[in-house]
Amino acid sequence: MSYAGWILLTASLVGLSCGIIGVLLILRRMAMMADAISHTVLLGIVVAYLVTRELSGVHMLIGAIAAGLLTSVLVQWFHARGVQQEASIGVVFTTLFAIGVVLIATKVGNAHLDVKHTLMGEITFIPWERIELPWIGSIPEAVFILSIVLIVVLVAVLAFYKEWKITSFDPALAASLGLPVVLMHYVFMSLVSVTTVAAFDAVGAIMVVAMLITPAAAAYLWTDRLLVMFALSGGFGVLSAVAGYYVAAWLDTSISGSMAFATGIVFMISFIASPRHGLASRWFRPRATAMPEA
C-alpha cells in the first residue's frame, strides 16, 4: 500500500471506531467526557514513561487507560456528591491535564514528548513505524492497534446492544430491571479510554475529540434508529478522514487539523440538509391548515 494509503487507512479506522463509540457518548449526554479523557490520558502516558523510561510499549497503553478510568471515576465521585456533572468534568479534566503538562515541562522535556504532539499528533509518521505480522507482512503499528480496537468496539456494541440501548435511554428503568448500570458505565468508559488511547498518538487529542463527538452529532440529526445512527456515525467519520486528507494535501497544511475541520463541515451539512431534524425539515415541513369552524 502507498504512503498516502496507510495514512488514509489509519485515519479511517480512527473515524470508524470513534464514530461508533461517539453515538453512545451523545445519547448519554457525556460528550465532554471525550474531551476530558482525550486530554487526561497525557498524564497516564507521562507517568508510564517516568516509571519505565521508555516511550513505546504496552506500559504506555496501560498508563493511558488507567488515566482515562481515573478521570471517569473522579467525575462520577464528584457528581455523586452534589457537584454538577459539567463542573465535575471541567475540574477533573483541567487538573489532570495540567499535572501532565507540568510533568512534561519539568521531567520529560527532552524525551520527544511534548504538548504540541499531544494536541495534533503525527499521522504523517504512521507509515514508518511498522511491525511484522505472520501471513500479513510489514504493516504500520498504528493500523494493527486500531484494527484490534475496532474489533473490540464492534464486538462490545453488538454483544450488549440491548443493554447499551436501555442504559443509554433510561438508566432508571435499566436499574429496575436488574441490569448492572454502574458496571455498564465503567465498561463503556473503558471502551472510550481504549479507543482514545489507540488514536491518541497518531492523530492527537483534537482529532480524537472531533471524531468522537461530531460524526455522532451529525448522525443524530438524520435518524432516530440506533443501528442506523451507529452506521451513519462511523460512515461520517470515515468520510471526514478521507476528505480532510485531501483538503490538507491541497492546502499543504495539518492533516489532523483538516480532518477535524472536515467533521465540522459534515455536521453543518447535516444541520442544514437533514430532513428529520435539520433546518430543511423546518423550512419544507408542510404547515397544518386551519380547519374552518362549523
Burial of 186 (0-12, 13-18, 19+ CB in 10 A): middle
Residue 107 pLDDT level (bands cut at 50, 70, 90): low
Is the model more confident about 49 or about 111?
49
Tally Cβ neighbours within 10 Å of residue 59: 16
**Could you tell me how many residues make up the chain?**
294
Q: Which SS3 state, helix, strand or coil, does residue 2 take?
A: coil
Cα 194 to Cα 283: distance, rounded to the nearest angstrom: 42
Cα 13 to Cα 212: distance, rounded to the nearest angstrom: 12
Residue 288 pLDDT level (bands cut at 50, 70, 90): very low
Burial of 195 (0-12, 13-18, 19+ CB in 10 A): buried
Segment 171-193 shows an average pLDDT of 84
Residue 115 pLDDT level (bands cut at 50, 70, 90): low
Per residue in 211-261, pLDDT (tens digit) is 899 999 999 999 888 899 999 999 999 999 999 999 988 888 878 888 889
Nearest C-alpha neighbor of 239 from the set 211, 220, 198, 274: 211
Segment 15-34 shows an average pLDDT of 88
pLDDT of residue 216: 93
Residue 139: DSSP 8-state = E
pLDDT of residue 236: 95
Q: Which three cell numbers stand for residue 68?
A: 482515562
Nearest C-alpha neighbor of 258 from the set 212, 206, 213: 206
Is the model more confident about 42 or about 54?
42
Residue 175 pLDDT level (bands cut at 50, 70, 90): confident
Question: What is the percentage of the chain residues whose pLDDT exceeds 70?
Answer: 85
Residue 118 pLDDT level (bands cut at 50, 70, 90): low
Nearest C-alpha neighbor of 142 from the set 50, 229, 207: 207
Residue 207 pLDDT level (bands cut at 50, 70, 90): confident
Cα 142 to Cα 197: distance, rounded to the nearest angstrom: 11
Average pLDDT, the chain: 81
Question: What is the percentage of the chain residues whose pLDDT exceeds 90?
Answer: 20
Helix 3-27 with 141-159: angle, nearest 10 deg: 30
Tally Cβ neighbours within 10 Å of residue 131: 14
Segment 92-112 shows an average pLDDT of 76
